[in-house]
Amino acid sequence: MSDLVLHFVLFGLAGTALVMAPLLIGRLVRPRKPTPEKDAIYECGEPTIGSSYVQFDLRFYTVALLFIVFDVEVAFFFPWASLYGGATQLADSKLSDSARVELTDKVLNLAPGTTDAATAISADVATTLAWVGLGDILVFFGVLLVGFAYVWKRGDLNWVRAVGAEYARKRDA
């Protein structure tokens, strides 16, 4: 066997051991005291009634999708904040040439020492870049807010709405 294959086998065995050890230790150490409440099936906050093919309320899926959309959009703020922060630092006219060269390399994602003082981003260009970056994020955030307002206005975020209407129908019948 070559060294590479041996390393993969050892890595696989070590990974399996690291995953299985806490599971086996937990099984041996934890107390086992079953009760009907502990053994009851519970999923997504809904008590199980009928067969397992019962469709869940659509609100669960709507809220999950909204969470994913707004969670993923937060991930877009981090690269923007890094670029915007570098651009606002470069906009300082009192910045030394060596600091300006270093920040230019960071903002443009270049290897250190790639830029020299003559090709570094000037304060005027950095100010323009910062304003453009701010405008971009405001448009991005504005589109998200319009989508959020639409979902809110449609009533997709009203968790109790359908339950209250269903209760009123049963009460009046």
Q: What is the pLDDT of residues 125-142, one digit of tens each?
A: 889 989 998 999 999 889
**How many domains, the chain?**
1
Range of the domain at 148: 56-172
Closest by CA to 46, choosing from 33, 55, 36, 35, is: 55
pLDDT at residue 29, as a whole number: 94
For residue 9, tell me if it sits in a domain: no
List Cα–Cα distances, 10 to 4, 24, 63, 153, 170, in angstroms.
10, 20, 43, 56, 64
For residue 111, tell me if it sits in a domain: yes
For residue 80, tell me if it sits in a domain: yes
pLDDT at residue 1, as a whole number: 64
Separation of alpha carbons 66 and 59, rounded Å = 10
